[in-house]
Amino acid sequence: MNFKEKFANDLKESLKAKDEVKVSTIRFLMSAIHNIEIEKGKDLVDEDIVSIIQKQVKQRKESIEGFEKGNRLELVEKEKREMGILQEYLPEQISSSELELMVDKSIKETSSSSIVDMGKVMGALSNQIKGKADMGVVSKLVKEKLS
């Protein structure tokens, strides 16, 4: 079952269960996918959809930080719930220990020794872990290892 079918099924189940947060989250996600398909003029593949989901998860994280600063706890809870729903659709994330091993291996394979080589390392890693780890975390880890 592809992502679009899964979204449609989950939307139907959420409507039956009267889960308003899940309904609105899935509708918003489907709308974002539809808009990008119109913009690109073609149907998106699953890899593209995963990147859209990751972008929306990142937006939720940023919103949570902002709402926490503004002491808007009801909105923090709503955003956390939406983020949890979105994360259910992401592929299983790589553990931090496994990620560290991959970074070490990539540094060794690219013969990198300083922060100047960070682009080479990130390029090699991005294809292996795209969608399976937060690239911001990967970037920080690579910086630490190369510093």
Q: Which CATH number fits domain 96-146: 1.10.10.410, 1.10.645.10, 3.40.50.2300, 3.30.450.20?
A: 1.10.10.410
Contact 91, 132 (CB under 8 A): yes
pLDDT at 26: 96
| Tens of pLDDT, residues 1-56 | 688 899 999 999 999 999 999 999 999 999 999 999 999 999 998 888 988 998 99
pLDDT at 37: 94
**Domain ranges in the chain?**
3-87, 96-146
pLDDT at 60: 94
pLDDT at 1: 66
User: Mean of the pLDDT values across residues 108-123?
Assistant: 82
pLDDT at 52: 92
Higher pLDDT, 113 or 11: 11
Can you tell me the distance from the alpha carbon of 11 to that of 72, in angstroms, rounded to the nearest whole number?
Answer: 28
Per CATH, 3-87 and 96-146 having the same topology is answered: no
Q: Which CATH class is domain 3-87?
A: mainly alpha
Mean pLDDT estimate for the chain = 89
Contact 57, 85 (CB under 8 A): no
pTM of the model: 0.75
Q: Which amino acid is at 90?
A: L
